[in-house]
Amino acid sequence: MVEKIKITFPDNSVKEYNKGITALEIASSISHKLRKEALAVKINDKIKDLDTKINEDSKIKFLTFEDEEGKQVFWHSSAHILAEAITSLWPETKLTIGPAIKEGFYYDVDREPFTEEELKKIEEKAYDIIKKNEKVTRKEIPKETAKELFKDNPYKLELLEEFEDDVVSVYYQGNFYDLCRGPHIPNTGLVKAFKVLKASSAYWRGDQNNKQLQRVYGISFPKKSMLEEWEKLQEEIKKRDHRKLGKELDLFFTSDLSPGSPFFHPKGTIIYNELINLFREEYKKRNYKEVITPVIYNKKLWEISGHWEAYRENMFTLDVEGQTYALKAMNCPGHVVLFKNKTRSYRDLPLRIAEFGIIHRNELSGTLTGLTRVRKFVQDDAHIFVAEEQLFDEMKELLDFVNYIYKDVFKMNFRLELSTRPEKYIGDLETWNKAEETLKKLLDELGYEYTINEGDGAFYGPKIDLHVEDVLKRSWQLATIQLDFNMPQRFDATYEDKDGTRKHPIMIHRAILGTIERFMGIIIEHYAGKFPVWLSPEQVRVIPVNENSKEYAEKVKEYLHKNNIRVEASLKPETVSYKVREAQLQKVPYIIVVGDKEKEKNTVTVRSRENKILGEFKLEDFKNKVLEKIKTKTEILDL
């Protein structure tokens, strides 16, 4: 008699199958569509190949291209197609590694730089491999056998030396094989669209002391139409590039004289300060205390906090009178020093300390990008000191704060991710386990859906990261809420509890926008420079229809300026149509045209930057309507 096993599906339905059935056979039994679209399978939360045999009761979920994890499997498999194409054309090429990335994949290879013509040949060869519909097979072999298999590839041999297991996996497709943990899609024919994007230089394992390799990037899809949509999206992304718009709208620039440290023009500074003002308004409502702490600290501080051991290579250091100091790379240690400077009691908690402090991190010059990857930045940073019994309510309040900022103000959706203990951490396991369980319990009780990102926590504690989706459906990791049981203990920061005993508070690290610079870069692209009125550097442009109207235009400008509306008047001797077009290109929300009629009635005729005529308004009424738009932070321009 054939032994049966029970398979539980995501909807909690349960079906019986014969022991030893493969995931692909289960997919086939459900529907032809699922069998066609399935790329891999999650068996008891572990991602496996579809030909994996299931021999015990299991919980499974099929992964398609709709799932992020499915995309990663698809793109990693496409990296193998890319590698096969390259080695088919140039057999002497040494392969290194080829991972999936956030969008697409790459493969690093040891050879001379590629020409544009060679990249085209790689893409053509990849389509040949796809057309062959080569079956992808996993084989597990002894590590010593693998060393023999890859004896001519020093990079694979280096990786094999680091593997602890005596058995390793190799994936085959046709005559091609590669050292890989997998999983992979069942066959190359599932890839219907494949595009080689570019090639660049990269050091082996990211270490500039190692040999320079060639990194070839690609993207692939299970449907040709998806590639067409992706290409259209890339064109839109180019139009919205915050570096391009930053120049056109006179917001900011960067200079080789200080790499990764943006210069903000007056218009950019207005946006920067409005973002900070948004938080200062909320801090008053939510009882945060704003502070200012030093920018340079003696290395003793960083040794106590653990950053000297875990983060030193990312810090700017300097010698001062024979002692080592470092520019501040984060605010948290200084905030613990500030907390400890006074005798604290349970009555002081929760204590919410906020700072818009200047931070420096020594990012590699090759990674710096406009506002989204910088060396000097400011966070909307806060550290909250709480007693254990206050933790649930404080986390609830924090998530309410996050909801307000992203959903109410910026109308952006987000998803939550819980990141757990990394390989390199400080503190003891018991404290870490307690912190992780606390966060899981809080998210579960508050009813939030979340995914777990194993091993990606901060070195001092687990964290909740928020991935925010912009208008182009791109995901950005922005807000972070980190639970820290360690740092207050390392600094011996305590408070007196109700029973007279001294206890270490729990420390919550919290940044909602992340960094002002990075968030500003993201929203420039999110809005395509068409900011809502409250955030626009220039909210109103006044245009006189002729010389006789200039005096009234100046009067309108002065009136709006006195009422805290950012306004400019265009008085140059150009045509009205030219001035209107210029205001539209600068993406000014409201464009006022005034002439003899408006002067006589003390009115303004208003159009939006989209060239929609909004009508004629009494000057005072227009002022009140604009101020209401600013107060409510609405994105709709209609008056």
Please give the Cα distance from 557 to 548 (Å, whole number). 16
User: What would you report as the CA-atom Rg of the chain, rounded to the nearest whole angstrom?
Assistant: 29
Question: Which pair of tokens denotes residue 20?
Answer: 């030893």
Tell the residue number behind the tokens 């259209």, with chain if given.
Answer: 232
**Are 79 and 99 contacting, i.e. CB atoms less than 8 angstroms apart?**
yes
Give the other-Cβ count within 10 Å of 631's Cβ.
10
Q: What is the dihedral of CA 271, 272, 278, 283, to 10 degrees?
A: -170
Tokens of 298: 């003696």
Q: Is 393 a catalytic residue?
A: no
Spot the catalytic one: 361, 373, 467, 599. Answer: 361
- Give catalytic status of residue 45 as yes or no: no
Give the separation between CA 38 and CA 510, rounded to whole angstroms: 39
CA distance 29 to 11: 17
Would residue 241 show up in a list of annotated catalytic residues for this protein? Answer: no
Number of other CB atoms surrounding residue 337 within 10 Å: 17
Question: Whose CA is closest to 261, among 359, 379, 327?
Answer: 359
Sequence-ordered list of residues with C-beta below 8 angstroms from that of 544, at least 6 positions apart, any chain: 550, 552, 553, 569, 570, 571, 593, 594, 595
* Alpha-carbon span 639 to 636, nearest angstrom: 8
CB 118 within 8 A of CB 106: no
Active site residue 348: no
Find the catalytic residue in 178, 380, 381, 484: 381
Tell me which residue has tokens 């459900």: 30
Angstrom distance (rounded) from CA 372 to CA 394: 30
SS3 475: strand
216 SS3 class: strand
**Which of 332, 344, 465, 482 is labelled catalytic?**
332
DSSP character at residue 209? T
- Residue 513 CA to chain centroid, in angstroms? 11
Helix axes 550-562, 619-632, angle to 10 degrees: 40
Q: Identify whether 379 is a catalytic site residue.
A: yes
Structure tokens at 55: 């021999």
C-alpha span between 109 and 308 (Å, rounded): 35
Strands across the sheet containing 136-142: 136-142, 167-173, 176-179
Catalytic, out of 71, 307, 335, 383: 383
Coil, strand, or helix at residue 630? helix
Tokens of 482: 């980190």
| Residue 525 contacts residue 241 (beta carbons within 8 Å) | yes
Asked whether the beta carbons of 374 and 242 are under 8 A apart, the reply is: no
Helix (H, G, I), strand (E, B) or coil at 510: strand
Q: 544 forms bridges with which residues in the sheet? A: 594
Of the residues 71, 344, 463, 541, which is catalytic?
Answer: 463
Q: 424 an active-site residue?
A: no
Are 542 and 603 in contact by the 8 Å Cβ rule? The answer is no
Q: Residue 341 and residue 536: Cα distance in Å, rounded?
A: 41
At residue 386, the 3 state secondary structure works out as strand
Q: Among 48, 242, 344, 509, which one carries the catalytic annotation?
A: 509
143: annotated active-site residue: no
Q: Are 74 and 185 in contact (CB under 8 A)?
A: yes
The rounded distance, in Å, linking the Cα atoms of 335 and 181 is 43
SS3 469: strand
Catalytic positions are 332, 361, 379, 381, 383, 463, 509
